[in-house]
Structure 1
Amino acid sequence: MSAGDRPGARAALVVALVLGLAALLVVAVTTPWDVLPEPPGGRTPLDPTAGLSAEQLARAEAFVGALRPASLLSLLLGLVVSALLGLTPLGGRLVRAVGARVGGRWWAQVLLGVPALILAGRLVTLPVSAYAETVRHRYGLSTRGWGLWLRDVAVSFAISAALTALIVLAALWLVRRAPRTWWAWAGLATVGLVVVGSFLYPVVIEPAFNRFESLPAGELRSDVIALAEENGTPVRDVLVSDASRRTTALNAYVSGFGSTRRVVLYDTLLERLPDEEIESIVAHELGHVAADDVLTGTLMGALGAGAATALAGWLLSWAPLLRRAGAESPADPRVVALALFLVSAGGLVGTPVQNLVSRQIEARADVHALDLTRDPEAFIAMQRRLASTNLGDPDPPAAWHWWFGSHPTVAQRIAMAEDWQRLEGRR
């Protein structure tokens, strides 16, 4: 039986195509493809070293050289395990086996089967993750003891397993209640979940991993609040995260909306960066707020999630695919492993597009930081300090950056700041 023979399958495919095209249209219209005009005389040539010393470059290259193979291996192992469980009856058997221990009801199979499937993937990749943590320890980037590392792994697994199990349970309930149109209702619910998740993340998920305290009164706090006011996006508070419990990396971000919006600074920033460089980082993050990047990203994510759900409705109506997974219908709990594989594969395929958009958005935020602070020297010094401390490759291989790079390279960001200087007549 073909996918089109099943009731609602053709409609699901049409909706997936329409929503997918709508998502691409939003991407095309809202992505800042040209963030800075070309200055007279052309763009500043990229310096692959980004001004870092030979010693700093050698250390960063050694670090990423040790970490990149582990990252690729973890990605491939996770995908292989997901495919093995989702494209063979193994996943369905596992779901049924764990559910049988508590009566075998369909909802019990889902609530226990989803964590079991996720745990299988985590256990296979755990040794690689441990090796990667060892590398971060070796280069001084991680400060976590193994107890805290295991705690973080466990908390991450628990949150992921619980949320995924509840989402899958709701989806399977819809399949059973509305076998022809479940994908439409699930798509609407997924869109709502993306939107709600964007609002709840800073107050629900972030505190599970870090503690936050208000930045004490002082010049830096006053300057950050003044930057936010000048940006037209006042913040509720300026918080300090206890990131040093886990890492020596430097970072800051703005999270939340409206009354929950706050600037968060890693405590490592306060220890290592002068105030003007911290303010440059904050100005970059405020650029995302000024441009409503989170809201736009939420819209893109909602459209993409709706399209993916409709596409899943079409794929899960294809009898040969169901037979391969050992499931009788989309309502069969044994279909769960197949659904999780489709989500993983779809996410991997969409990664280059997401990162292409992300790089442009980050570049726009860089320009915003320069416009807001009017301090390109601090911006350039900050980029070099981040690259040196976070052990980032200032000029990674093109293929790697195209697929995995969510930000412009350090070399690109410094060249852009120099272009900004020339446009502003600062040289």
Structure 2
Amino acid sequence: MRKIHTMIITGFILYAAVISIYLMQGDLYAIPSGLQGTAADPATFMTGEQIIKAESLSRINSLGYFILTPMQIGLLLILLGVSVRLRDLAGRWFRHSFWQMAAFVGLFLLLFDLLFLPIDYLLLRVNQSYGISNETLALFFSDHIKNFLINGIGTLIIVAIFRLLLNKSPRRWWLWLWLISIPLLLFVSFVQPVLLDPLYNDFQPLQDQGLKKEILTLAEQADIPTDQVYQVNMSERTNAINAYVNGIGGNARIVLWDTILNKLQKEEILSVMAHEMGHFVEKHIYWGILYGMILSFIGFWLASYIYRYSIQRWGAVWGIHGERDLAALPVLLAIVAAMGFLSAPAQNTFSRVMEHRADTYAMKITHNGDAAIHAFQKIAKENLAPVTQPKLIKWFRGSHPTIAERIVYFEQYAKE
């Protein structure tokens, strides 16, 4: 075990050094010469200080992403010895297998959460120092507790289903778990706007009746089944601006952050909302679920073989008594985290295609490229977002086309 831990730590240090050197390069966010002086050039709508802060914040957030995910994977494997002790402790506390499982899952997730709590707080302080976050310490801990409880309940449900399927079908559990995950995902998408989101934020009907009327006119053209538009008090958390349409069927909700209402003009807001409605019109949530189903099918199948091999190869060293052992949960979580990290480029490529199609829909319905240009210039400025991204960051974190790419598209549309 000591040799395995040494290999994990050494490999992580080398990986972190390489990523850090890459992200410290000075020309990562350079603007192509063909865009200099155009509407996509941040020098035309951001101050020099804002440009520097945007690039610096992006480097920090990207470093956090590339470091934390592998750190979590490595820590899950290092904590296997602790996992065995927690399994034994839960076994002494409870006789019934369900309560043993609940105690083990709760204790392990709590330990893991507490280990990363200082890092989460550090990232909050970074966003506060850059003027992005307004989150108080009380709000930070309140959200953290809610996240822990929701994730804990979800993890407990998945683990219970996993163990049941593993008992019933040791060789095909991954296939049954994949099939069950589909209705679970649809259920969460359906209830999120009305049950989960209100746990974090206060949603109110949009107060600006004139803007509401125009947004609902766009919604009617998009066949969105709603007669209400909501605004949410996000300024208590952030200075960034955003809006979205989420939910399935009759649970669809049109939501604007109060920050976007305060910082964008009406035509700019309408261009952003038209983009969000484009996702609904083109049924991107369903396409996303379908694409996720395909990726997860491959992922579940591959994870089952890696999990089985890992337990057979190193289970005795770790103190794990087979695939059904509760103490093996960190192994499965590490495999899932690694596969999610490695599949990020494929997921982001698909997402960027849908985002561009939503931009295309917005232009077709508003016919206002200039408003969209101004909206995304303000989004870059207020969110401290670089207009370009280096390839590695774009592959792993770029769920949207770069702001420069979007402004170029809107500019071409405006000229046409």
TM-score range, shorter chain: 0.7 to 0.9
Residue in 1 that maps onto 2:384:
391
The residue correspondences of 1:21-420 to structure 2 (distance < 5 A) are 45-47=34-36, 49-50=41-42, 51-53=44-46, 54-85=48-79, 89-103=80-94, 105-216=96-207, 218-318=209-309, 319-420=312-413
Q: CA deviation at 1:294?
A: 0.1
Structure 2 residue runs of 5 or longer lacking an equivalent are: 1-32
Q: CA deviation at 1:236?
A: 4.1
Task: Return closer, same or farther for 1:335/1:374 CA change in 2, 3 Å cut-off.
Answer: same
Q: CA deviation at 1:123?
A: 2.3
Aligned equivalents of 1:65 and 1:305: distance in 2? 30
Task: Return closer, same or farther for 1:310/1:91 CA change in 2, 3 Å cut-off.
Answer: farther
Matched-pair contact (CA < 8 Å) for 1:96–1:104: no
Matched-pair contact (CA < 8 Å) for 1:355–1:404: yes
- Aligned residue for 2:229, secondary structure, equals strand
**AA of the residue aligned to 1:415:** V
Aligned equivalents of 2:333 and 2:53: distance in 1? 38
Aligned equivalents of 1:351 and 1:371: distance in 2? 30
Residue-by-residue CA offset, 1:227-274 (whole Å, 9 max, x unaligned): 111223343421111111211110000011221112000011111111
Aligned equivalents of 1:315 and 1:76: distance in 2? 17
Matched-pair contact (CA < 8 Å) for 1:248–1:390: yes
Residue-by-residue CA offset, 1:140-199 (whole Å, 9 max, x unaligned): 211111111111111111111111111101210221233343333222212221222222
Task: Return closer, same or farther for 1:72/1:127 CA change in 2, 3 Å cut-off.
Answer: farther
Matched-pair contact (CA < 8 Å) for 1:198–1:298: no
TM normalised by structure 2 equals: 0.85
Task: Return closer, same or farther for 1:153/1:235 CA change in 2, 3 Å cut-off.
Answer: same
Aligned equivalents of 2:394 and 2:171: distance in 1? 42
- Aligned residue for 1:240, secondary structure, equals strand
**AA of the residue aligned to 1:409:** T
Aligned equivalents of 1:324 and 1:276: distance in 2? 63
Q: CA deviation at 1:404?
A: 1.1
Q: CA deviation at 1:382?
A: 0.3
- Aligned residue for 1:270, secondary structure, equals helix
Matched-pair contact (CA < 8 Å) for 2:62–2:393: no
Task: Return closer, same or farther for 1:324/1:388 CA change in 2, 3 Å cut-off.
Answer: farther
Task: Return closer, same or farther for 1:201/1:306 CA change in 2, 3 Å cut-off.
Answer: farther
Matched-pair contact (CA < 8 Å) for 2:245–2:253: yes
Matched-pair contact (CA < 8 Å) for 2:224–2:280: yes
Aligned equivalents of 1:120 and 1:173: distance in 2? 25
- Aligned residue for 1:205, secondary structure, equals helix
Q: How many residues align?
A: 378
Aligned equivalents of 1:91 and 1:49: distance in 2? 52
Matched-pair contact (CA < 8 Å) for 1:253–1:265: yes
Residue-by-residue CA offset, 1:47-95 (whole Å, 9 max, x unaligned): 463433323212322333444434433333222212323xxx4254144
- Aligned residue for 2:230, secondary structure, equals strand
Aligned equivalents of 1:72 and 1:52: distance in 2? 30
Identical-residue share of aligned pairs (%)? 29
Matched-pair contact (CA < 8 Å) for 1:233–1:289: yes
Matched-pair contact (CA < 8 Å) for 1:242–1:266: yes
Matched-pair contact (CA < 8 Å) for 1:250–1:269: yes
**AA of the residue aligned to 1:235:** T
- Aligned residue for 1:244, secondary structure, equals coil
Matched-pair contact (CA < 8 Å) for 1:73–1:128: no
**AA of the residue aligned to 2:100:** Q
Q: Could you say which structure has the greater relative contact order, defined with CA pairs below 8 angstroms and 6 or more residues apart?
A: 1
Matched-pair contact (CA < 8 Å) for 1:187–1:307: no
Task: Return closer, same or farther for 1:381/1:367 CA change in 2, 3 Å cut-off.
Answer: same
Aligned equivalents of 1:215 and 1:351: distance in 2? 35
